[in-house]
Amino acid sequence: MMNLNQIHILIVSAIIVLLSSISCSNANKTNSYNSSTVVLVHVLFRHGERTPGKYDLWKSNPYYNESYYKPYGYGQLTNDGKERMYNVGVELRERYADFLGTDWDIGVTDAYTTNSNRTKMSISLVLAGLFPPSGSLVWKSDLSWQPIPYNYLPAEQDKELSSWACSTVLPLIYNTSSTAERLKAYDGLIKTLSEGTGEEVDYISALYLYFGLRIQEQLGLPLENWTQAIYPEPFKSYIIDFYYIETSTAPLKKVIAGYFLKKILNDSQRKINGTLEPSDRKIYLYSGHETNLGTVIGALEILTLNDIPPYGSYLAFEVHNIDNVYGLKIYYQTHENDDPTLLTLPGCQEFCPFDDFAKLLSNIIPQSDSECDGVKMKYSGTVPIILLITIILLSSKVSSRTVKKTRSYNTDTLVLAHVLFRHGDRTPSTAGLWNSNPYYNESYYKPYGYAQLTNDGKRRMYNVGLELRKRYDEFLGKTWEIGVLDAWSTNYNRTKMSTSLVLAGLYPPNSCLIWKKDLAWQPIPYNYLPVPDDRELSSWACPTVVPLIYNTSSTAERLSAYDGLIKTLSEGTGRDLDYIDALDLYFGMLIQSQLGFPLQNWTEAIYPEPLKTYIIDFYYIETSTQALKKVIAGYLVKKIISDTQKKINGTLTPENRKLFLYSAHETNLGTVIAALELTNLTEIPGYGSYLTFEVHNIDNVYGIKIFFQNYESEDPILLTLPGCQEFCPFDDFVNLTADIIPLSDSECTG
């Protein structure tokens, strides 16, 4: 029988689900808006409703345990939050419909988010409401959603959206007499919080506790009696006042909101000058937190806030051209009224000419990174560890081959899976074409653009998700939880979109996670690193790679066998090509022929052969020495081993993690296969192909099985690591791969 505490948890969880099933107050639709003078829009919004984060609570809180916040988990977007943010997208669509046009184009929008699951999910939802697929972009008739990629930076590098990224922030707050004096007025509040929570609370950590109380109250969870003395007031007033405290001096304004405003100014200036790339860019979206809106409002002194910016609220900086004068209008939408409120920058009019706007902001715009102190995250001893932890945490013309579904698969012994897959079908990149190519112009690849996923590619990757669902159905469970999987992508639109599609097929919403009855999709966040930092998935991230390829006698000799091929390519394209340039050209020719565009006569001498053979051979050339294996594939294999070891030891966080997904390119699969010497490839890994490293516990022995799905047969092929069996005991796997595992960063950096 269940004890009273378990019953209590079930009741609370039911309340959360019930609240999430009730339609949140929809973002009121804006009235018809004349956007005929709009040339560019920047929209900064707060994420949707969420559960409390671990650091919004305190350990003695009766509702501290994460089980109270199922099925979402700590700090995650709820169904109400999903619905709200989708409606924000719908509202922006209605407001800017004439300006944006009906069809989404990769260049039209640039979507940024902080490195937080709830803001990533929120921006995916806004994009879903803003750009439902239409016309030639409808890739699945019964799913009114299309994948649109988002961008972000690690919190410690994100000067535009992460308030605490600059190491100068806290000294400026604590060591400035005027701000210190204003903070001192709240010492009584801080004392009550410290005594009530039994924890050492300071001015910063108090900010999180307010939202913990607020969300707990919204979920119908009773607050402890001691909170009555401070919640909602004076606690709420402190939160609002803090926006103005942390923007009360020009140096603070520069590091808290100045970098974001600088980006708006720079992008607007480029649009006005005609130098913005891409030239068809119309809207920038920024998914952030209430503090982003509060501090921008505080820094610009455009409004005296009486309330905390609510979920789904936004600021829109609209660039207009009125009577040949470029200028900005600033709108604030809290959904208290139908339409956003037009605000006025002090010293200007509602329509503020751009030069005046820039001049009025000049004192709060940082001139260099030195004002942020290099974003090194150096904090004084006065900063609580809770803050540091929180910052880090926040931190189709192609004939598509149908992905065959795998047969029923027994996962009784499975404990963890790592899946590395290639993206879906795409258009050619500029690197894969050449200026004299009759089909060089991007107009031939509309509506997608260069190097973008096609509708066939979208269908293929969605089907990969369906296939993984069938294979791992019993192992994963039907309901998605934030901790169950970790999805990584390279920093390319086509791999980000492929990740979103695999996740859509793998985890359609079910049961309590259905947030919109007529849309069988839910937002699931993915992660990526900038290419120079991505040693696991970006082949060229390590500076040592190219020298190791060109300056090693054995690889240089193997490459020289293709000198005739390189010469033919150089003469035919009119470009001075090397061995690496040739790789892109093969895929340009392949895609061009798949699209039905005739290839030039000169290509007959080298395409498909010997160019295809060269591509495959290059996987083995660039992994032909131990040193190359380490930097080309070793970092990914090292991560797989490390995460597997933690799972076996019971130290993997979160403990319910079952699946790692890696969205990448054919070269990733080819080089991992070559580095591990798993098989002799005769074909280039196809679109949607994947390698899965399955961790099993068979008769109390942990080990790994490696499968390769290239759709040459119905089921993935079980591969064998040389020196081991098909089921390779983990210790043996580690020993056999030891020579290709990099031991330090120096092997990458040189």
pLDDT at position 164 is 85
pLDDT digits (tens, 9 = 90+) for 369-403: 899 974 443 333 333 333 333 333 333 333 333 44
Long-range CB contacts (< 8 A, 24+ apart) of 366-370? 366/254, 366/255, 366/258, 366/259, 366/262, 369/159
Whether the upstream peptide bond of residue 346 has omega within 30° of 0, thus cis, is no
CA distance 367 to 724: 59
Annotated active-site residue 442? The verdict is no
- Average pLDDT estimate for 94-106: 96
Percent of the chain with pLDDT over 70: 91
What pLDDT score does 23 carry? 39
**Mean pLDDT value of segment 401-416:** 71
pLDDT average, residue stretch 35-41: 97
Catalytic one of 42, 47, 418, 696: 47
pLDDT at 575 over 50: yes
pLDDT the model gives residue 163: 82
Q: Check pLDDT > 80 for residue 8.
A: no
The closest alpha carbon to 492, from 147, 206, 741, belongs to 147
Amino acid at 222: P
Instruction: Say if residues 344 and 350 touch (Cβ distance below 8 Å).
Output: yes
Encode pLDDT of 517-555 as tens digits: 999 999 999 999 999 999 999 989 999 999 999 999 999
Is the predicted pLDDT of residue 138 greater than 80, yes or no? yes
Q: What is the DSSP letter of 333?
A: E
Domains and CATH numbers, the chain: 4-166+248-392 (3.40.50.1240)
Give CA separation, 105 vs 61, 447, 501, 660, in Å: 48, 7, 18, 30
d(CA 411, CA 697): 10
d(CA 529, CA 154): 8
Supply the mean pLDDT for the chain: 92
What's the rounded mean pLDDT across residues 735-745?
96
> Does residue 10 or residue 256 have the better pLDDT?
256
Per-residue pLDDT tens for 631-673? Answer: 999 999 999 999 999 999 999 999 999 999 999 999 999 999 9
Is 277 designated active site?
no
Q: Is 108 exposed, middle or buried (0-12, 13-18, 19+ CB in 10 A)?
A: middle
- The string of pLDDT tens digits covering residues 163-182 is 889 999 999 999 999 999 99
Q: Is the pLDDT of residue 13 over 70?
A: no
Tens digits of residue pLDDT in 264-290: 999 999 999 999 999 999 999 999 999
Query: Do you find a cis peptide bond into 525, omega within 30 degrees of 0?
Result: no
Confidence grade of residue 27 (pLDDT, cut at 50, 70, 90): very low
Q: Torsion-angle region of residue 321: left (phi > 0), alpha (psi -120 to 50) or beta?
A: beta
Residue 400, pLDDT score: 38
Q: Are 729 and 454 in contact (CB under 8 A)?
A: no
Q: How far apart are CA 129 and CA 498, in angstroms?
A: 19
Task: For residues 420-448, give the mean pLDDT.
Answer: 97
Q: Which pLDDT belongs to residue 348?
A: 98
Query: Based on C-alpha coordinates, what's the Rg of the chain?
Result: 27
Give residues with Cβ within 8 angstroms of 214, minimum separation 6.
232
Instruction: Provide the pLDDT confidence category of residue 33 given band limits of 50, 70 and 90.
Output: confident
Does pTM top 0.75 for this prediction?
Answer: yes
Q: Give the pLDDT score at 16.
A: 54
Q: Note whether 139 and 352 are within 8 A (CB).
A: no
* Catalytic pick among 290, 318, 536, 666: 290
Q: Are 40 and 283 in contact (CB under 8 A)?
A: yes
Percent of the chain with pLDDT over 90: 88
Residue 517 sits at the vertex; the CA angle it makes with 514 and 521, to the nearest 5 degrees, is: 60
Exposure letters 716-738 (e unless 16+ CB within 10 A, then b)? beebebeebeebbebeebeebbe
Among 400, 467, 426, 456, residue whose Cα is nearest residue 707: 467
| Helix segments in 339-427, DSSP class H | 354-361, 385-394
Q: How far apart are CA 69 and CA 216, in angstroms?
A: 10
- Which residues are bridge partners to 709 per DSSP? 690
**Whole-number Cα distances in Å, 151 to 127, 393, 625:** 13, 17, 35
Q: Do 420 and 465 meet the contact criterion of CB atoms below 8 Å apart? A: no
Q: What is the band of 31 on the pLDDT scale with cuts at 50, 70, 90?
A: low
Read off the pLDDT of residues 80-96 as tens digits, 9 standing for 90 and up.
Answer: 999 999 999 999 999 99
293 vs 257: CA distance, rounded Å? 9
Q: Could you give the residue ranges of the DSSP H alpha helices within 201-258?
A: 205-218, 235-245, 250-253
The pLDDT of residue 684 is above 80: yes
Amino acid at site 700: N
- 228: confidence class by pLDDT, cuts 50, 70, 90: very high
**Cα–Cα distance between 670 and 686 in angstroms, integer?**
10
528 φ, ψ (degrees, to nearest 5)? -160, 165
> How confident is the model over 67-88, as a mean pLDDT?
97
